[in-house]
A and B are shown apart, each in its own frame.
Chain A
Amino acid sequence: MTQKTVAGVNLEVTDDGYLVDSSQWTEKIAKEIAKEENIELNDKHFEVIKFIRENADSGLTIRKVGKSGVVDIKGFYDLFPGGPLKMSTKIAGIQKPSSCV
């Protein structure tokens, strides 16, 4: 665990940068974290992030996101290049998923 100031808020994050307390999350924080990953968030990103935050406790998988009706798997990869599930969950301020699929 480390302390990190994101968008003017002091946050506790895990060693790989995931928020410890997901209730501290704001859209502003999401934008800052995304910028570190070289992603500029748009409305589509936020739609996906909303789905991810709402389903944070359900054992998220890429397949589930693909069936969400919000985005298909190809679109998910396009929105968050280089690891959509781990990146989107980090930006959404939830726990790092432990899924293998």
Chain B
Amino acid sequence: MAEKKDTQVKKVAMICAKGTIEDVYATLVMANGAVMEGMEAKVFFTFFGLDAITKKYMNKLHTATVGNPAMRMPGGLTFPTLLGAIPGVEAGVSAMMRGQMEKLDIPPVDEFLDMITAGGGEIYACKLAVDMFKLKKEDLSDHVIDIITIGDFYAMAGGEGSQVIFT
């Protein structure tokens, strides 16, 4: 076997700043994938990404049906933006998307956080964004270790083979 000379990724520090299904799941899948591979993972949720760790919203995330050119109807036809603007359509499409994911054994957000933290992954909330949205620690998932500044987060993101990922 050829000798590998690359430095392996041993740790990922991820920042999730958006709250759509796809943005949050990109973060969760990558964080969970990291702990599955025996890597260290730390995730920092900020701005709208906070929805993913806010008890009230975490399992009700939406995808955008307006202004999303990649959105298609079953069968592949493009999804008209005007249709996406009708009340209830976004919620319906989002529920359908969550159902599709469940079929692939992709868990709801709260259970995904259970999985990540069971594997040793760490979850943090951004202080600035928590203050801005007037949230309290008790509004957030019990898996949130602490509400910290981005500086605190960078301070724990270092080390050989570590990467910072923004989603």
Contacts and interface: CB of A to CB of B under 8 A. Distances in A.
B164 interface: no
For chain B, give the interface size range.
10 to 19
Contacts of A64: 105
Identify the interface centre among B29, B32, B104, B115: most chain A CB within 10 Å of its CB.
Answer: B115
Interface in A46-101: 59, 61-64, 66, 72-74, 76-77, 81-86, 99-101
A100 B33 contact: yes
Interface string A27-63: 0000000000000000000000000000000010111
A58 to B, nearest CB: 10
Contacts of A101: 29, 32-33, 104-107, 115
Contacts of B35: 77
A86 B37 contact: yes
A73 B105 contact: no
B29 A62 contact: no
Contact of A73 (B29, B104, B118): B118
Given A83-B38, A100-B29, A72 B107 contact: no
A97 to B, nearest CB: 10
Nearest to A87: B38
Interface residues of A, number: 21
8 contacts: A62-B32, A63-B105, A66-B115, A77-B35, A84-B119, A100-B33, A101-B29, A101-B115
Given A62-B36, A81-B38, 8 more contacts: A63-B111, A73-B118, A74-B118, A83-B38, A100-B29, A101-B33, A101-B105, A101-B115
Interface of B: 1, 29, 32-33, 35-38, 104-107, 111, 114-115, 118-120
Top 9 A-B residue pairs of the complex, sorted by shortest distance between their CB atoms: A82-B38, A73-B118, A83-B38, A74-B118, A61-B105, A77-B119, A83-B37, A73-B115, A63-B105
